[in-house]
Amino acid sequence: MKIAIAADHAGFVLKEKLRRTLAEDGHEVKDFGPASADSCDYPDYAQPVASEVAAGRADRGILVCSTGIGMAIAANKVAGVRAAPAVSEDEVRLTREHNDTNVLTLGARYVDAEQAWKMTSIFLHTGFAGGRHARRVAKIAQMEQAPGSQK
């Protein structure tokens, strides 16, 4: 699977661990930075990952910041992206099954490397349930194209 990944300074260490583990697991990983834990602005890193996923150049995206919330807000500004922050394996499973999320955002403040890898693995291997959920996801896509939409 092709994975786009990035972080901000707060998520840098966890991003690096996930990047290595993803590559070891056989995934093609495109790292959008940063290259260090120096202070930086999370939207600068969320945007290229979200754009890569929305354009179909990556199958999924993973973003890491302090809470996962800022990255999700920024990534969701890109049309075609459904990003969700999660702190539990159950949340990750449900957001894939019910919302067909294509970007997972993690909070380095709340998950350690082992938990983050378990959640990432669930994110990559859980399918979309479709059915009634497909109708709801389609409504989200319609919102992106509605008059007054910011996307």
Q: Is residue 9 among the annotated active site residues?
A: no
Asked if residue 150 is part of any domain, the answer here is no
Which candidate in 40, 65, 125, 133 is catalytic? 65
Parent domain of 107 = 2-144
Edge-to-edge order in the sheet of strand 28-31 = 28-31, 2-7, 60-65, 103-107, 83-85
Which residue is associated with the tokens 């896509």? 141
Q: What is the per-residue pLDDT across 20-49, written as a single tens digit (0 to 9) for each?
A: 999 999 999 999 999 999 999 999 999 999
CATH number at residue 86: 3.40.1400.10
Asked if residue 151 is part of any domain, the answer here is no
Verdict on whether the full-model pTM lies above 0.85: yes
Q: Is residue 98 among the annotated active site residues?
A: yes
| Count of beta carbons in the 10 Å neighbourhood of residue 146 | 8
Asked if residue 96 is part of any domain, the answer here is yes
Which residue is associated with the tokens 């990983």? 29
What domain count does the chain have?
1
Which candidate in 9, 27, 40, 98 is catalytic? 98
Rounded distance between C-alpha atoms, residue 111 and residue 121, angstroms: 14
Q: What is the per-residue pLDDT across 90-134, written as a single tens digit (0 to 9) for each?
A: 999 999 999 999 999 999 999 999 999 999 999 999 999 999 999
